[in-house]
């Protein structure tokens, strides 16, 4: 091709390809449409249902272009109006989501500016923001300055990173895998067992520790198991404790477990994905011992009310983290570590990634810490407010909760299990607020998990009204 042809062809291609760089007038129009849409969405949150059991359709990708307006309408109908409305305060099932507004702005800015946050040299500013978020977390959980951490997409990936470090520090590999023992509570989140499999520890021995009537790990039972395993020639490797279990919001006796893991030279992992941020509240004493953990996971997309897609992990032994995540770590001279640890990529499996530090950093800076703490305190009180109302309606309740999750069932005169399932179905069909169920102590129960920042006293009143309504309906059947 001679230069003239080449220039003609380039000019031709440019006419089409330059559409990717949206011109200013269209940019401003798009921002306005999206901003109006977001505003309408938030204004409508109080009137839409928390749950709509519907299939999503018409979302296949077509090659031809379509106007933003049409796509926003499609999004509203097929995404927002199907399933659980996780941005609403009426999501009181599983672990509720968040989505404080400044985080959305942070995501927008991160996407427009697109800095390479994983490598300090490529973006000292973005990498420093990521690291400052980790420093803030270290401070909250009283982790030492020389511990390391990274922001992940959520609790499950954080667990993978923590367990990999544990595995590498204890050299759990090859024929030793089957000799090592992990101790869990029945109430542990399923991402724990999943992580063990993913990182190649499927054949490790898993022991389930007995729990008490408040669903907390019994430390005497734990020590018995450990001693038995040692006598049998096995190697106690790791204990996983939870600071806020998913089902019941229970905090295990962290301080006592920490002492045992120290005594038997084991790795101590704490799953604080849901409950961790309650350490900033009046419940602080429940978290005593968390600072002794070797690794800790925590989900800002839960207790910090941020949109889905940001978790965090803190780990004390930087060498163990570098072993798998920094390929040439073994050849680095001591002292070079400090510089090396400035790049998130060296302590995480991810290289190119979303600059998620900004969606934590910006809301915390714009709003300050106080409203986050107040919101958590509010959730703690709301669960008691809810329990008081249900007790008055004749419901049976689980034990006093440590945090903001509780469960209940109705003592129907016959077929208790079946009728409580029917009650759950009625509640889902009603959909004005969303609750979910579980099996606790072999009993079918309905759970309430209060963590959305938009959940208020009025939401709880609405939940109680709905439960009353569904119960009446059932009694009339």
Phi, psi of 327 (to 5 degrees): -55, -45
Query: Using the rule CB under 6 A, is 402 a contact of ligand PLP?
Result: no
| Separation CA 104–CA 308 (nearest Å) | 11
| Separation CA 463–CA 261 (nearest Å) | 42
| Separation CA 477–CA 472 (nearest Å) | 9
Q: Closest approach of Cβ 438 to ligand PLP, in Å?
A: 13
What's the chain's length in residues?
477
Residue from 246, 261, 281, 420 in contact with ligand PLP (CB under 6 A): 246
Cβ-contact 433, 425 below 8 angstroms: no
Q: Closest approach of Cβ 191 to ligand PLP, in Å?
A: 5
Q: Which is nearer to ligand PLP, 189 or 447 (CB)?
A: 189
Residue from 271, 294, 402, 426 in contact with ligand PLP (CB under 6 A): 271
Q: Which is nearer to ligand PLP, 235 or 348 (CB)?
A: 348
Cα angle value 416/418/423 (rounded, 5°): 90
Residue from 50, 84, 86, 95 in contact with ligand PLP (CB under 6 A): 95
Query: Using the rule CB under 6 A, is 154 a contact of ligand PLP?
Result: yes
Query: Using the rule CB under 6 A, is 273 a contact of ligand PLP?
Result: yes
Query: Using the rule CB under 6 A, is 274 a contact of ligand PLP?
Result: yes
How far does the chain reach from its first CA to its final CA, in angstroms?
81
Size of the site for ligand PLP (CB under 6 A): 13
Q: Closest approach of Cβ 94 to ligand PLP, in Å?
A: 8
Positions of E strands within 326-372 = none
Three-class secondary structure of residue 153 per DSSP: coil
Q: Which residues pair with 91 in a beta bridge?
A: 434
| Separation CA 222–CA 231 (nearest Å) | 14
Span from 204-212, 269-277, 393-401, 447-455 in contact with ligand PLP (CB under 6 A): 269-277
Q: Closest approach of Cβ 422 to ligand PLP, in Å?
A: 27
Q: Closest approach of Cβ 99 to ligand PLP, in Å?
A: 15
Instruction: Give the CA diameter of the chain.
Output: 90
Span from 148-156, 177-185, 395-403, 421-429 in contact with ligand PLP (CB under 6 A): 148-156
Span from 142-150, 154-162, 261-269, 384-392 in contact with ligand PLP (CB under 6 A): 154-162
| Separation CA 215–CA 243 (nearest Å) | 12
| Separation CA 210–CA 308 (nearest Å) | 33
CA distances from 211 to 109, 222, 250, 303 (A): 46, 10, 11, 25
Q: Closest approach of Cβ 314 to ligand PLP, in Å?
A: 15
Binding to ligand PLP (CB under 6 A) within 105-124 occurs at none
DSSP string, 445-469: EEEEE---TT--HHHHHHHHHHHHH
Cα angle value 447/195/341 (rounded, 5°): 115
Binding mask 294-313 for ligand PLP (x = CB under 6 A): -----x-----------x--
Q: Which is nearer to ligand PLP, 201 or 313 (CB)?
A: 313
Binding mask 55-94 for ligand PLP (x = CB under 6 A): ----------------------------------------
Span from 150-158, 161-169, 326-334, 449-457 in contact with ligand PLP (CB under 6 A): 150-158
Joined tokens for residue 78: 């097929």
Binding to ligand PLP (CB under 6 A) within 186-225 occurs at 189, 191
Residue with tokens 């309650």: 278
Q: Closest approach of Cβ 299 to ligand PLP, in Å?
A: 5
Span from 231-239, 268-276, 315-323, 356-364 in contact with ligand PLP (CB under 6 A): 268-276
Residue from 89, 93, 99, 155 in contact with ligand PLP (CB under 6 A): 155
Cβ-contact 277, 373 below 8 angstroms: no
Q: Which is nearer to ligand PLP, 326 or 453 (CB)?
A: 453
Cα atoms in the Cβ-side hemisphere of radius 13 Å centred on 134: 28
CA distances from 291 to 137, 246, 460, 477 (A): 11, 21, 34, 53
Span from 56-64, 161-169, 266-274, 278-286 in contact with ligand PLP (CB under 6 A): 266-274
Q: What share of the chain is helix, strand, coil (3-state, %, to 5)?
A: 50, 15, 35
The contact set with ligand PLP (CB under 6 A) reads 95, 154-156, 189, 191, 242, 246, 271, 273-274, 299, 311
């Amino acid at each position: 091709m001679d230069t003239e042809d080449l220039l003609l062809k380039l000019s031709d291609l440019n006419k089409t390809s330059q559409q990717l760089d949206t011109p200013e007038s269209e940019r401003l129009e798009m921002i306005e449409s999206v901003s109006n849409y977001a505003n309408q969405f938030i204004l409508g949150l109080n009137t839409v249902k928390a749950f709509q059991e519907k299939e999503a359709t018409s979302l296949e990708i077509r090659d031809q272009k379509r106007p933003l307006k049409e796509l926003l309408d499609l999004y509203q109908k097929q995404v927002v109006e199907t399933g659980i409305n996780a941005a609403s305060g009426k999501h009181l099932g599983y672990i509720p989501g968040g989505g404080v507004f400044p985080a959305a702005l942070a995501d927008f800015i991160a996407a427009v500016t697109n800095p390479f946050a994983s490598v300090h040299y490529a973006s000292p500013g973005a990498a420093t923001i990521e690291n400052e978020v980790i420093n803030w977390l270290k401070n909250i959980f009283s982790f030492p300055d020389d511990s390391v951490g990274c922001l992940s997409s959520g609790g499950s990936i954080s667990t993978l990173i923590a367990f990999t470090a544990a595995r590498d520090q204890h050299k759990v590999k090859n024929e030793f895998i089957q000799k090592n023992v992990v101790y869990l509570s029945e109430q542990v989140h399923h991402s724990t067992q999943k992580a063990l499999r993913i990182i190649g520890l499927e054949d490790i021995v898993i022991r389930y520790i007995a729990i008490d009537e408040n669903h907390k790990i019994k430390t005497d039972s734990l020590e018995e198991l450990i001693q038995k395993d040692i006598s049998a020639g096995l190697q106690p490797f790791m204990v996983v404790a939870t600071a806020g279990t998913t089902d019941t919001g229970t905090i295990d006796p962290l301080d006592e477990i920490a002492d045992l893991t120290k005594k038997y030279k084991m790795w101590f992992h704490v799953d604080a994905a849901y409950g961790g941020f309650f350490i900033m509240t009046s419940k602080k004493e429940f978290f005593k011992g968390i600072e002794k953990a070797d690794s800790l996971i925590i989900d800002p997309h839960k207790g910090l009310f941020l949109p889905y897609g940001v978790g965090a992990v803190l780990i004390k032994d930087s060498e163990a983290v570098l072993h798998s995540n920094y390929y040439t770590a073994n050849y680095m001279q001591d002292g070079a570590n400090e510089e090396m640890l400035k790049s998130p990529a060296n302590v995480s499996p991810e290289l190119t990634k979303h600059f998620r530090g900004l969606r934590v950093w910006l809301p915390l800076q714009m709003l300050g810490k106080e409203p986050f703490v107040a919101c958590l305190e509010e959730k703690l009180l709301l669960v008691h407010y809810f329990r008081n109302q249900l007790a008055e309606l004749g419901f049976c309740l689980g034990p006093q909760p440590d945090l903001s999750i509780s469960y209940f069932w109705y003592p129907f005169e016959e077929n208790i299990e079946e009728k409580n399932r029917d009650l759950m179905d009625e509640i889902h069909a009603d959909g004005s607020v969303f609750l979910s169920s579980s099996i606790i102590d072999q009993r079918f129960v309905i759970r309430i998990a209060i963590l959305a920042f938009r959940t208020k006293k009025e939401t709880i009143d609405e939940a109680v009204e709905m439960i009353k309504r569904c119960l009446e309906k059932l009694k009339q059947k």
